[in-house]
Amino acid sequence: MEMGAQEFGVLLEGWQVLVLGLDGAGKSSILHYICSRTAREHMAPTRGFNSAQLCIEGLEMDLLEVGGSQNLRSYWPLYLGQAHVLVFVVDSVDRPRLGTARQELHTLLATEPRLPLVVLGNKQDKSDALSMAELWEELALHTLSEQREVFLLPTSATWASLSTDTSILHVKNLLVTLLSQP
Ligand SMILES: Nc1nc2c(ncn2[C@@H]2O[C@H](COP(=O)(O)OP(=O)(O)O)[C@@H](O)[C@H]2O)c(=O)[nH]1
Ligand SMILES: [Mg+2]
């Protein structure tokens, strides 16, 4: 479901999971596979915002994707204050834009020193994907404050990967664990 920014007020109950990352990283695909276990061949580019609600193990989660194209990135900070977790999706083969992803991520994090961070190294099904060690380094995750919980998971948001180690279903489990902690 796509909608405009002004319609968002109604969704702010339960746990807020904010899903950000550059355009094309795989945010919509990940939301799709987190929320429904059906195949999807093509993902239309998100025009603005995309949201999904999940109820698992008694937790109500609102997952909100804000588009990652340059004109939409200025909206990112607006949703940060309400978020309980930030999921930041990176395209593991998009080496040329990794520096941009790193900068955008660190700029965001500077305003929310305690917000838990889940970085997803997506498109791990591709043969030239960067490893988690490389992404940790390239995204300068080692420079983040020790006050912050930081996770880096390999993902592949494809139908074929749903039952593999890079399954985005691990992301779902991690979110449940994070949001269930006291
Ligand atoms: N091979 C592969 N393609 C992916 C993966 N995730 C997303 N894609 C593709 O990458 C493109 C952008 O995905 P999308 O979910 O729209 O990215 P968004 O802009 O971050 O929401 C689409 O063509 C997806 O099918 C992945 O894990 N592996
Ligand atoms: Mg999208």
What whole-number distance in Å separates Cα of residue 76 and Cα of residue 137? 24
Protein residue with its CA nearest to atom 12 in ligand 1: 24
What whole-number distance in Å separates Cα of residue 182 and Cα of residue 178? 9
Residue with tokens 């020790």: 146
C-alpha 25 to ligand 1 mean position (Å): 6
DSSP assignments along 102-168, one per residue: HHHHHHHHHT-TT--EEEEEE-TTSTTPPPHHHHHHHTTGGGS-TTS-EEEEE---SGGGTTSTT-T
Read off the pLDDT of residues 19-30 as tens digits, 9 standing for 90 and up.
999 999 999 999
Domains of the chain: 14-164+172-180 (3.40.50.300)
Protein residue with its CA nearest to atom 8 in ligand 1: 26
Going by C-alpha positions, the residue among 50, 40, 117 that lies closest to residue 83 is: 117
Determine if the pTM surpasses 0.85: yes
To test ligand 1's pocket by mutation, which of 43, 65, 168 has the most ligand atoms within 8 angstroms of CB? 43
C-alpha 73 to ligand 2 mean position (Å): 12
Atom index in ligand 1 nearest the CA of residue 45 equals 16
Residue 131: the pLDDT is 98
Read off the pLDDT of residues 4-16 as tens digits, 9 standing for 90 and up.
444 444 444 589 9
